[in-house]
Structure 1
């Protein structure tokens, strides 16, 4: 199921947009859901993203660890460019886009996981 499919979400109660980068805007959907009355305990850790009171564990996806090689390569390219040049600006932009991708992967994982947990 796609994140943006109409069946994935109910109608949003609010939509918030904010500037996260020089040229990019992020849009957040804010949904108000009725409480189900069910409770669950969560233990957040390093090896597992969390362990709940039922004993289920979710592994930590480690998005930054998976992207370290590309970030190291882009950072090395940035360090070898001359300050003030157009190549440096484009290299800096590539590095910031990679960092932005990692942060969006983290956020996407948490949002989807929270949505799954609330629908149980």
Structure 2
């Protein structure tokens, strides 16, 4: 999982803002123009573009400009990487809690030291 370290850092940083998470959520339904994405937010377009650039640098979206319209598309591979990392973390912590449960419920753990 260490090979994913930089990617995870970039993706989690990109997702650390509620505006950017809302954009990712919206793009999960399909591509959209920057103006469509910016519409629900009370901010100037240059400020919103900072969010778009952060998502793009995190690898979560790609943008394509045709004429005056810039369209954003969700890139699912970084989300798949996060899912794999979280699944790995879940297995690690389940193994820890399984060992703890075994230790606590083992009859050997409850025997008093004869000394």
Higher relative contact order (CA 8 A, sep 6+): 2
Tell me whether the two structures share a fold, i.e. TM-score over 0.5.
no
Give the structure with the larger helix fraction.
Answer: 2
Q: Which has the larger radius of gyration?
A: 2
TM-score (norm 1): 0.29
Give the structure with the larger strand fraction.
Answer: 1
TM-score (norm 2): 0.30
